[in-house]
Amino acid sequence: MSVTRKDANQLKKGNYLLVDGAVCRVTSEPQHSKSGKHGHAKMRFDAENIYTGKKSSVTMPAGESVDVPNIEKRTGQVISKSTDSVTVMDSENFTNFEVELPNDEEMKNQLAADQTVEYWIVMDKKVVVKIMS
Q: For the segment 53-88, what is each residue's pLDDT rounded down to a tens digit?
A: 899 999 999 889 999 999 999 999 999 999 899 999
Distance, in Å, from the CA atom of 21 to the CA atom of 9, rounded to the nearest integer, reads 20
Using alpha carbons, select from 58, 93, 52 the residue that is nearest to residue 76. Answer: 93
Based on the fold, state whether residues 63 and 10 are members of the same structural domain. Answer: yes
Cβ atoms within 10 Å, residue 33:
13
Domain endpoint, select from 34, 50, 69: 69
Tell whether 39 and 50 lie within a shared domain: yes
> Measuring CA to CA, which residue among 123, 4, 1, 10 is closest to residue 60?
10
109 φ, ψ (degrees, to nearest 5):
-75, -30
Q: Is the pLDDT of residue 89 over 80?
A: yes
CATH classification at residue 35: 2.30.30.30
Least confident of 34-43, 80-89, 118-127: 34-43
Q: Please state, in angstroms and rounded to a whole number, the distance separating the CA atoms of residues 90 and 108.
A: 19
Supply the DSSP symbol for 105. H
Domain boundary among 47, 69, 91: 69
Whole-number Å distance between alpha carbons of 40 and 10: 16
In the predicted model, is pLDDT for residue 126 greater than 80?
A: yes
- Residue 51 confidence (pLDDT): 87
CATH number at 106 reads 2.40.50.140
pLDDT at position 52, please? 87
CB atoms within 10 A of CB 96: 12
Number of structural domains the chain divides into: 2
Are 75 and 120 in a shared domain? yes
For residue 1, pLDDT beyond 60: no
**Residue type (1 letter), 58:** V
Pair 49, 94 in one domain: no
Query: Residue 75: its pLDDT value, please?
Result: 96
Q: What is the mean pLDDT of residues 94-115?
A: 91
Both 65 and 85 in one domain: the answer is: no
63 and 80 within one domain: no
Which residue segment(s) compose the domain that 11 sits in? 3-69
Q: What is the average pLDDT across 87-96?
A: 95
pLDDT given at position 5: 94
Domain boundary among 69, 90, 113: 69
**Beta carbons within 8 Å of 37's beta carbon, 6+ residues apart:** none
